[in-house]
Amino acid sequence: MRRLLIWLPLAAFLLLLGVAIRGIVSPGERAVRSALIGQPVPLLKIDPLFEGRPGIDSDALATGEPILLNLFASWCVPCIAEAPQLMKLKEEGVPIYGVAVRDTPEEMRRFLNENGDPYTAIGDDRTSQVSIALGASGVPETYVIDGQGRIVKQHIGYIGSQDMDELRKALEAAE
């Protein structure tokens, strides 16, 4: 029995090493999913970011057709990476509403001039209250909203070319 106890510290070390390696190799899901999937968009009235352009009203999001609601910011590097995909979706006729998170009109104008402007309307979320209401975990984040104004899909992170088919399918299913 004493011989077995000699190996106990080594066995404990190997067990901890195995757990650590598993955590490094397969870290698991770290994103926070919105609890609003399948629920109506919370009552939102978001002031416009720019004078002369519309803001966002949750009633206006129930247009009878599926739309995208994209949370983004000029200071967000992944938002630059997803801009070409959003422009493609706009060209395909997808209405895209933007929520500018913790941003300024001046910086957002620069961002849109450099990366394109796919947005039907842009709301101003300087205090992140809209992000919190939607259960967002950061920017960029995109929601597919069906014609009745219900959130049917949440896409966390930037939209890459590899995500386009999945988003198109979600938009088709949301009709």
pLDDT tens digits, one per residue of 41-72: 998 899 999 999 999 998 888 889 999 999 99
| Residue pLDDT, tens place only, 1-15 | 777 788 888 888 888
Q: Is the pLDDT of residue 171 over 90?
A: yes
Domain range annotation of the chain: 30-173
- pLDDT for 17: 87
- Sign for the CA dihedral angle at 34, 38, 42, 44 comes to positive
CA distance 151 to 89: 18
At a CB cut-off of 8 Å and minimum separation 6, what does 106 contact?
A: none
> Is 30-173 a CATH 3.40.30.10 domain?
yes
- pLDDT for 28: 63
C-alpha dihedral, 157 to 158 to 162 to 167, nearest 10°: 80
